[in-house]
Amino acid sequence: MKILEIKTLAIPDITVIRFARFRDHRGYFTEHFRRSDFLSRLPFYQNVDFSQANESYSQPGTVRGLHFQWNPFMGKLVRTLSGHMVDLVLDIRKGSPAFGRIIGYDMPAHPEDEFSEWIWVPPGFAHGNVFKEHTAIEYLCTGEYSPGCEAGISPFAQDIDWSLCDPGIRGEFEGIAAGAPLITEKDRNGYSLADWIGKPESDNFVFWGACCRP
Protein backbone atom coordinates (compact mmCIF):
# COMPACT_ATOMS: atom_id res chain seq x y z
CA MET A 1 0.00 0.00 0.00
CA LYS A 2 1.51 3.33 -1.03
CA ILE A 3 0.31 5.88 1.54
CA LEU A 4 0.78 9.40 0.19
CA GLU A 5 -0.51 11.48 3.09
CA ILE A 6 -2.06 11.13 6.53
CA LYS A 7 -3.87 14.13 7.95
CA THR A 8 -6.23 14.99 10.76
CA LEU A 9 -9.19 17.32 10.31
CA ALA A 10 -10.64 20.18 12.38
CA ILE A 11 -11.62 17.58 14.97
CA PRO A 12 -8.24 15.83 15.42
CA ASP A 13 -9.66 12.34 16.09
CA ILE A 14 -10.85 12.21 12.47
CA THR A 15 -8.09 10.93 10.18
CA VAL A 16 -7.83 10.92 6.39
CA ILE A 17 -5.48 8.44 4.67
CA ARG A 18 -4.61 9.21 1.04
CA PHE A 19 -3.16 6.35 -0.99
CA ALA A 20 -1.86 6.04 -4.54
CA ARG A 21 -3.44 4.59 -7.62
CA PHE A 22 -1.16 3.25 -10.35
CA ARG A 23 -2.60 4.22 -13.72
CA ASP A 24 -1.71 3.23 -17.27
CA HIS A 25 -3.45 2.87 -20.63
CA ARG A 26 -5.57 -0.03 -19.28
CA GLY A 27 -6.95 1.74 -16.21
CA TYR A 28 -5.54 1.62 -12.68
CA PHE A 29 -4.53 -0.67 -9.84
CA THR A 30 -4.45 0.22 -6.16
CA GLU A 31 -3.75 -1.58 -2.93
CA HIS A 32 -6.27 0.11 -0.66
CA PHE A 33 -5.45 -1.70 2.57
CA ARG A 34 -2.42 -3.43 4.03
CA ARG A 35 -2.50 -4.31 7.72
CA SER A 36 1.23 -3.83 8.32
CA ASP A 37 1.15 -0.30 6.85
CA PHE A 38 -1.80 0.66 9.00
CA LEU A 39 -0.10 -0.74 12.09
CA SER A 40 3.19 1.07 11.45
CA ARG A 41 1.80 4.47 10.44
CA LEU A 42 -1.62 4.92 12.05
CA PRO A 43 -1.74 5.01 15.86
CA PHE A 44 -5.51 4.55 16.00
CA TYR A 45 -5.20 1.17 14.30
CA GLN A 46 -3.32 -0.39 17.22
CA ASN A 47 -6.65 -1.14 18.94
CA VAL A 48 -8.84 -1.66 15.89
CA ASP A 49 -10.23 -4.91 14.53
CA PHE A 50 -12.64 -4.77 11.60
CA SER A 51 -15.50 -7.25 11.90
CA GLN A 52 -17.96 -6.11 9.22
CA ALA A 53 -17.72 -4.56 5.75
CA ASN A 54 -20.58 -2.68 4.08
CA GLU A 55 -21.19 -1.19 0.64
CA SER A 56 -23.90 1.23 -0.39
CA TYR A 57 -25.03 3.05 -3.52
CA SER A 58 -26.80 6.41 -3.46
CA GLN A 59 -28.47 8.66 -6.02
CA PRO A 60 -27.61 12.36 -6.36
CA GLY A 61 -29.23 14.44 -3.62
CA THR A 62 -29.24 11.62 -1.07
CA VAL A 63 -28.58 12.40 2.60
CA ARG A 64 -27.78 9.57 5.04
CA GLY A 65 -27.21 9.73 8.80
CA LEU A 66 -26.19 10.87 11.27
CA HIS A 67 -25.76 7.35 12.71
CA PHE A 68 -23.92 5.85 15.70
CA GLN A 69 -23.90 2.62 17.72
CA TRP A 70 -22.90 1.26 21.12
CA ASN A 71 -22.76 -2.31 22.50
CA PRO A 72 -20.68 -2.92 20.51
CA PHE A 73 -19.16 0.42 19.61
CA MET A 74 -18.71 0.92 15.87
CA GLY A 75 -15.85 2.85 14.32
CA LYS A 76 -15.90 3.21 10.54
CA LEU A 77 -13.20 3.38 7.86
CA VAL A 78 -14.96 4.84 4.82
CA ARG A 79 -14.03 5.42 1.20
CA THR A 80 -15.75 6.43 -2.02
CA LEU A 81 -15.58 3.72 -4.69
CA SER A 82 -17.03 5.86 -7.47
CA GLY A 83 -18.93 9.13 -7.63
CA HIS A 84 -18.91 12.02 -5.18
CA MET A 85 -19.56 11.77 -1.45
CA VAL A 86 -19.30 14.45 1.22
CA ASP A 87 -18.69 12.77 4.58
CA LEU A 88 -20.27 14.32 7.68
CA VAL A 89 -18.97 13.70 11.22
CA LEU A 90 -20.60 15.04 14.42
CA ASP A 91 -18.91 14.86 17.85
CA ILE A 92 -21.32 13.37 20.43
CA ARG A 93 -18.77 12.72 23.21
CA LYS A 94 -19.93 14.31 26.44
CA GLY A 95 -17.24 16.63 27.77
CA SER A 96 -15.45 16.95 24.43
CA PRO A 97 -14.22 20.44 23.45
CA ALA A 98 -15.89 19.81 20.08
CA PHE A 99 -19.15 18.35 21.43
CA GLY A 100 -22.05 19.18 19.14
CA ARG A 101 -19.82 20.37 16.31
CA ILE A 102 -19.95 18.87 12.84
CA ILE A 103 -17.36 18.78 10.08
CA GLY A 104 -17.56 17.73 6.44
CA TYR A 105 -14.95 16.25 4.11
CA ASP A 106 -15.21 16.19 0.33
CA MET A 107 -14.46 12.72 -1.11
CA PRO A 108 -14.94 12.39 -4.88
CA ALA A 109 -13.60 9.32 -6.69
CA HIS A 110 -13.30 8.96 -10.46
CA PRO A 111 -11.29 6.53 -12.61
CA GLU A 112 -8.83 9.20 -13.78
CA ASP A 113 -7.82 10.21 -10.24
CA GLU A 114 -4.23 9.57 -9.18
CA PHE A 115 -5.20 8.71 -5.60
CA SER A 116 -8.05 7.65 -3.37
CA GLU A 117 -8.76 8.19 0.34
CA TRP A 118 -10.07 6.58 3.49
CA ILE A 119 -11.61 8.58 6.34
CA TRP A 120 -11.51 7.13 9.86
CA VAL A 121 -14.53 7.90 12.08
CA PRO A 122 -13.99 6.42 15.57
CA PRO A 123 -16.68 5.60 18.14
CA GLY A 124 -18.06 8.72 19.78
CA PHE A 125 -19.08 10.37 16.53
CA ALA A 126 -22.34 10.39 14.59
CA HIS A 127 -21.63 9.71 10.93
CA GLY A 128 -23.47 10.58 7.73
CA ASN A 129 -23.04 11.37 4.06
CA VAL A 130 -24.31 13.64 1.32
CA PHE A 131 -24.08 12.48 -2.29
CA LYS A 132 -23.62 14.85 -5.23
CA GLU A 133 -23.53 12.18 -7.96
CA HIS A 134 -24.48 8.55 -8.42
CA THR A 135 -22.07 7.16 -5.84
CA ALA A 136 -20.92 3.84 -4.41
CA ILE A 137 -19.05 3.72 -1.07
CA GLU A 138 -17.46 1.05 1.11
CA TYR A 139 -16.92 1.10 4.85
CA LEU A 140 -15.21 -1.27 7.25
CA CYS A 141 -16.70 -1.43 10.75
CA THR A 142 -15.13 -2.30 14.11
CA GLY A 143 -18.41 -3.72 15.44
CA GLU A 144 -21.19 -5.78 13.96
CA TYR A 145 -24.58 -4.13 13.51
CA SER A 146 -26.58 -4.36 16.74
CA PRO A 147 -30.31 -3.53 16.43
CA GLY A 148 -31.58 -1.74 19.50
CA CYS A 149 -28.16 -0.29 20.29
CA GLU A 150 -28.04 2.32 17.55
CA ALA A 151 -29.56 5.76 17.06
CA GLY A 152 -29.20 8.89 15.00
CA ILE A 153 -29.08 12.66 15.16
CA SER A 154 -31.12 14.38 12.44
CA PRO A 155 -28.75 16.14 10.02
CA PHE A 156 -31.28 18.98 10.06
CA ALA A 157 -31.24 19.41 13.86
CA GLN A 158 -31.14 23.11 14.68
CA ASP A 159 -28.73 22.70 17.61
CA ILE A 160 -25.86 21.24 15.54
CA ASP A 161 -22.87 23.62 15.54
CA TRP A 162 -21.48 24.07 12.00
CA SER A 163 -18.72 26.53 12.96
CA LEU A 164 -15.87 24.05 12.29
CA CYS A 165 -17.24 22.96 8.92
CA ASP A 166 -15.80 24.34 5.69
CA PRO A 167 -18.26 27.05 4.52
CA GLY A 168 -18.35 25.63 0.98
CA ILE A 169 -19.30 22.17 2.22
CA ARG A 170 -21.91 23.63 4.55
CA GLY A 171 -23.34 25.61 1.64
CA GLU A 172 -23.57 22.49 -0.52
CA PHE A 173 -25.38 20.63 2.25
CA GLU A 174 -27.81 23.50 2.79
CA GLY A 175 -28.47 23.66 -0.95
CA ILE A 176 -29.39 19.98 -1.06
CA ALA A 177 -31.39 20.24 2.18
CA ALA A 178 -33.38 23.19 0.83
CA GLY A 179 -34.51 21.16 -2.16
CA ALA A 180 -36.03 17.71 -2.00
CA PRO A 181 -33.29 15.51 -0.50
CA LEU A 182 -33.61 11.75 -0.69
CA ILE A 183 -33.65 10.73 2.98
CA THR A 184 -35.47 8.19 5.12
CA GLU A 185 -38.06 9.41 7.59
CA LYS A 186 -36.03 7.73 10.32
CA ASP A 187 -33.01 9.88 9.50
CA ARG A 188 -35.01 13.06 8.94
CA ASN A 189 -36.75 12.64 12.28
CA GLY A 190 -33.67 11.65 14.27
CA TYR A 191 -32.88 13.18 17.63
CA SER A 192 -31.77 16.74 18.20
CA LEU A 193 -28.59 16.99 20.25
CA ALA A 194 -30.58 18.19 23.25
CA ASP A 195 -32.99 15.25 23.01
CA TRP A 196 -30.13 12.75 22.66
CA ILE A 197 -28.07 13.97 25.63
CA GLY A 198 -31.20 13.73 27.78
CA LYS A 199 -31.30 9.98 27.22
CA PRO A 200 -29.35 7.63 29.53
CA GLU A 201 -27.81 5.88 26.50
CA SER A 202 -25.88 9.05 25.71
CA ASP A 203 -23.61 8.23 28.66
CA ASN A 204 -22.04 5.54 26.47
CA PHE A 205 -20.10 8.32 24.72
CA VAL A 206 -17.78 10.24 27.04
CA PHE A 207 -14.64 12.19 26.15
CA TRP A 208 -11.50 10.94 27.90
CA GLY A 209 -8.88 13.00 26.12
CA ALA A 210 -8.51 10.53 23.27
CA CYS A 211 -11.49 9.33 21.30
CA CYS A 212 -14.27 7.74 23.34
CA ARG A 213 -14.41 5.17 26.10
CA PRO A 214 -17.40 3.80 28.02
Is the confidence at residue 209, as pLDDT, over 90?
A: no
Does residue 214 sit within a domain?
no
Does residue 154 sit within a domain?
yes
Provide the CATH number for the domain around residue 135: 2.60.120.10
Is the confidence at residue 211, as pLDDT, over 60?
A: no
Does residue 128 sit within a domain?
yes
Does residue 98 sit within a domain?
yes
Does residue 211 sit within a domain?
no
Tell me how many domains the chain contains: 1
Find the domain containing 15 and state its range. 3-201
Does residue 67 sit within a domain?
yes
Active site residues: 67, 139
When pLDDT is cut at 50, 70 and 90, the band that residue 167 belongs to is: very high
Does residue 127 sit within a domain?
yes
pTM of the model: 0.93
Distance CA 164, CA 101 (A): 7
pLDDT tens-digit profile of 59-76? Answer: 999 999 999 999 999 999
Does residue 197 sit within a domain?
yes
Distance CA 112, CA 77 (A): 23
